[in-house]
Amino acid sequence: MNKTLIFRFLAICLLGVLAGISSVQAQDKVFEDKLGAGDTVRVQVFQNPDLTLETRIQESGSITYPLIGSAKLAGLNIPDAERVIAAALKLGGFMQQPQVTITLVQARRKQVSVLGAVGRPGQVPLEYANTRLSDVLAVAGGISPTGSDTVIVTGQRNGKPMRQEINVAALYLEGKSTGDILMAGGDVVYVHRAPVFYVYGEAQRPGSYRLERNMTFMQALVMAGGPTARGTEKRLRLHRQAADGSAKEMTPDLNDIVQPDDVIFVRESLF
């Protein structure tokens, strides 16, 4: 291989490394790239020290600034926010060519609240713009053994209320990665307790058990240790709550699907 080919090969490798670094940097973009409610900013106008102001962006997303009154800065990056202030000063006839500088003094860390059946309930800070539901659950210690596979996410998107029920298990078992949504500051993730069913009567281990997906009455009985020497699986009795709140009694088939809060009674054998 001559020197020209070696030089071209090294140049291509260098470009690949630089592209990789750029990709990583883009992926790790810090979440606070735009101003938001709770951030503290310092606004300065060149050669106008009387217009220097350090203030906190209100929950409405605005600040109150001398001469122009209210100015909405939340959701803007710093250059755009500077242009908003400058345009307002010029439009109001206060200056011909105002040169505005905005400095972020203190950023309020955007957080997600994680509640319910997780390892460590509490506030999870959003460090990066591409933080997803799975990332937040991992930081919170994951879903506890008593927690449901389905989590509820509430918050706001584009100024409107948002509520989604997401089956976390399906993200991996069925490859439904679109459910691994991007998180936003102020979101609340709630993990309810897992659905359960109850077994009593002539069962080896009567009690309450976690209901797995598509579980049959045969599988439920096996989880409870099966019938005792006096019991039988052929004459199960089921108590199920109807939609109107009334209790319904029936005799299920062993291949029927168990529903949340079903109460299964294992009867005594007649022989």
Domain co-membership, 128 together with 183? yes
Same domain for 180 and 226, yes or no, is: no
Q: Is residue 55 part of a domain?
A: yes
Nearest CA to 179 among 164, 199, 190?
164
- Asked, for residue 202, whether it belongs to a domain, the answer is yes
**Within this chain, do residues 184 and 204 fall inside the same structural domain, yes or no?**
no
- CATH number of the domain where residue 133 is located: 3.10.560.10
DSSP state of 254: T
| CA dihedral of 79, 80, 82, 83, whole degrees rounded to 10 | 120
Residues 6+ apart with CB under 8 A from 157: 184
Range of the domain at 222: 196-266
- Looking at 149, 174, 193, the residue that finishes a domain is 193
Indicate if 158 and 185 belong to the same structural domain: yes
Q: Kindly report the pTM of this predicted structure.
A: 0.59
Last residue of a domain, one of 48, 71, 106: 106
Residue 255: inside a domain: yes
Q: How many CA atoms lie within 13 A of 103 on its CB side?
A: 7
pLDDT tens-digit profile, the chain (271 residues): 454 444 444 444 443 434 444 433 433 444 446 888 888 999 999 999 999 999 999 988 999 999 999 999 988 999 999 999 999 999 999 999 999 999 988 877 678 999 999 999 999 988 777 889 999 999 999 999 899 999 999 998 887 899 999 999 888 887 777 789 999 888 999 999 999 999 999 999 999 999 988 999 999 999 999 999 999 988 899 999 887 888 889 999 999 999 999 999 999 987 6
Q: Which residues pair with 160 in a beta bridge?
A: 157
> What's the total number of domains in the chain?
3
Helix (H) or strand (E) holding 54: strand 48-56
25 within some domain? no
